[in-house]
Amino acid sequence: MYMKVTYDKDTCTHSANCVNSLPSVFQVKDGNFVIVQDGAPEEKIRETVNSCPSKALKIK
């Protein structure tokens, strides 16, 4: 099953949870937020998405 993580920059509260808990997927490059969609096992990605405090991250 193909999974895609989406990010809403207007909702994000910059808690940095995601970049700290799963840096292989959630990264800041040149000041831009980048999601490496295949950077970790699906379960790990789901965990981190679910722990985003502002719900800026979603799985499609």
Residues found near ligand SF4 in the complex (CB under 6 A): 12-18, 52-54, 56-57
Q: How far is the CB of 41 from ligand SF4 (least distance, A)?
A: 18
Q: What are phi and psi of 15, to 5 degrees?
A: -75, -20
Residue type for position 24: S
**Would you say 19 and 55 are in contact if contact means Cβ atoms under 8 Å apart?**
no
Q: How far is the CB of 1 from ligand SF4 (least distance, A)?
A: 23
Q: How far is the CB of 20 from ligand SF4 (least distance, A)?
A: 9
